[in-house]
Structure 1
């Protein structure tokens, strides 16, 4: 049922024609990229999440859906860029490469790189030099907690599954 819902949402997004400024068009594209990344993360699932319930962890994500939705466009770019960069770094580690299907992981990383390129194009077009240090620090601390968790759990299959679910949730709100 959830997959049907995602396909309907994807269809609506594809049939919509964005109109507006270049920035709004790029943000619309990012939503499409996020949907692709979200779907690829779901496909990476190797074991049913219910088998890993006792491994769950609160990584203390620094924002909730409401604050991200209300962020100004400049702040959102400041948030998205380090988030995507850290997700790429997380999934390009040797331990990650050993944990996941290589074809799906390659597609995921390709989609993430595409999103980064779009964000960098947007930043260049805006021509502003933003100070994103505060948001970057919060994102870095969040991912440090994820890396610490994986290390504590010795990069087990359940630990990776918990992290996959966590990242999937966060991509859904970017």
Structure 2
């Protein structure tokens, strides 16, 4: 188990789907990279952050689902793999929701932080006109994000 209460196996499965979705070599997109300033670093977890890990993880997975469940995403990715990714995200979100409901968790601070982080990703994609390289940069960053949770 990781800090969020979701088995690390589920994060690995989501990361695996992201890896399978790769369409172009990442090195072709090096000039497109940007720092989205991920708001959580594994080495600075405080007790408060750890108790809110389930809520935080739910927010991150919900935003990842929202990001990939768009027309622009459907145009960029293999739809079979995309559907598998979205299905795995949905399953993980259901598990997290049950845990949050049971523990009566709410995390308004993290809602704001996570929303701002993903707004930056949406702005980046729009600014790059949803190019394959922009999506590749985002795909890699989302994978990194999952590895920190």
TM-score normalized with structure 2 length: 0.91
Distance 2:45 2:142 in 1: 15
Match of 2:39 among 62, 65, 86: 62
Match for residue 118 of structure 1? Answer: 95
How many pairs are equivalent? 148
Bigger Cα Rg: 1
Match of 2:127 among 152, 159, 162: 152
Structure 2 gaps of 5+ residues are none
Q: Give matches, 1:84-123, under 5 Å.
A: 84-123=61-100
Q: Deviations over 1:78-128 (max 9, x none)?
A: 2101100000000001000110011111110011001001001112332x2
CA-based RMSD of the aligned residues comes to 1.9
Distance 1:71 1:59 in 2: 24
Q: Give matches, 1:1-174, under 5 Å.
A: 27=5, 29-68=6-45, 72-126=49-103, 128=104, 130-174=105-149
Structure 1 gaps of 5+ residues are 1-17, 19-23
Distance 2:77 2:96 in 1: 26
TM-score normalized with structure 1 length: 0.79
Over 6 Å off, 4+ runs? none
